[in-house]
Amino acid sequence: MNAPWTRQFELPTATGSIRVREWGDPDGPLVVFHHGTPSSSIAVPGGWAGPSTAGVRLCSYDRPGYGGSPSAPGRTVADAAEWSRRIADACGADRFAVLGTSGGGPHAVATAALLPERVTALCVDVGLGPAGVGSGGFVFDGATGMVAETVAEISAARRGEAALREHLRSLGNGAEALDDWFARLPASDREILGRPEVQHEEAVEATEWSVHGIDGWVDDDLALFARDWTFDPSRVLAATRLVYGGADVLVPASHGRAWLELLPHAELQVVSDGGHWMRDHEVELLRWCGAAVAV
C-alpha cells in the first residue's frame, strides 16, 4: 500500500508513545482528529483524500492500544488533551481545531475543555454522548437509544476489565467482531460502505486497529464507560458543531442533544437520513474547522 498520509512519526507521551500521521496540506490550518472505537489513525474524515480536498493539515493518531501505539492501561478520556497538545507542539501550531468521530467525540470535547486557550474549533461527528460527566444535576446514560449489542458492551465495561475482555472476545476478531452492528445499519450507511474506495479503506482500518488484539477497544471502553471523564465541558470556549445522523443506529442523535445541554453555544445539525458514516459531509466539516483556526 502506498502511504496516503504525508508524514508519520512516533511521539513520546506521559503514558508511553503514540503514532501520529499527518495528512493534507502541510501549510494548512491544523486539525487534530480523534478516531472512533475501535479504529486507528488510518481512518480520517472524508476518507484518505478528505484533508487534501478540504485544504487542511490533519493529524490523526492511534490511541494507546491501537495500531502503532502501545497500550497504556488506565488511560482516561482527559488524556486526549495532553496527546493533542503534544501533536500541536510537534507541528509548531499554537492554535488548532479538534474533530472527533464516534468514540473519539468525547476525546475531542476533553481536548477543547482542557486547552481552551489553544483550541479554536470543536466538531463532534456522530460522537458518543456525555456518559462520563455531569453538571448541575445533568445525567446522561451512555446506553441511551443504542442497539442491544452496544448496551451489552457498555454493561460489560461497567462490570470491569475481565468481564469486558470476555465479552469482546466472544464477538470474534477484527472486522468480524462488528458484524452484528453492521447488520443493523440504515440504507445510507450501506450505500457508503458499498463504495469500492470505502471498502478498501475499511479493510485496511480493520487490520490496523486489531494489531494488538482487543487492547485498544478495551482501553477505550473502560475510559468511556467505567471511569470519570474528569473534565468540565462548560470550559469549552471554541466554536462548536455537533453533527449526527437521524437514522444512525450506533450513536443516535439523542447523544448530540445531550451534548447540547452541556454545550449550549454549540450548533446541532441532524442529517435526517444520515447514518453513522457521514463521509459525504466530513470534507465540509474539515473546511469549517480550518476556517475557525485561520481566523
Class of domain 7-294: alpha beta
Where residue 136 falls (left for φ over 0; alpha for ψ -120 to 50; beta otherwise) is left
Query: Could you give the C-alpha distances from 254 to 137, 192, 221, 239, in angstroms and in order?
Result: 18, 23, 20, 21
Instruction: Answer yes or no: pTM beyond 0.85.
Output: yes
pLDDT of residue 143: 83
How many whole angstroms separate alpha carbon 52 and alpha carbon 115? 26
Contact between 294 and 104 (Cβ < 8 Å): no
Contact between 172 and 31 (Cβ < 8 Å): no
pLDDT of residue 132: 84
Residue whose entry in the numeric block shows the C-alpha cell 466538531? 123
Cell numbers representing residue 188 in the block: 445510507
Determine the distance from the C-alpha atom of residue 83 to the mean position of all C-alpha atoms in its chain, rounded to a whole number.
Answer: 14
Cell numbers representing residue 273 in the block: 437520513
Contact between 231 and 133 (Cβ < 8 Å): yes
* pLDDT by 10-residue block (mean), the chain, 295 residues: 90 93 98 97 98 98 97 96 98 98 98 98 97 73 84 94 95 66 85 94 93 95 94 96 96 95 96 96 98 88
pLDDT of residue 134: 65
Nearest to 131 by CA among 37, 41, 227, 29: 227
Sheet holding 239-245, edge to edge: 7-13, 16-24, 57-61, 30-34, 96-101, 119-125, 239-245, 267-271
pLDDT of residue 174: 56
Rg from Cα positions in the chain: 17
pLDDT of residue 279: 95
pLDDT of residue 177: 58
For 167, residues 6+ apart whose C-beta sits below 8 A from its C-beta are 152, 153, 156
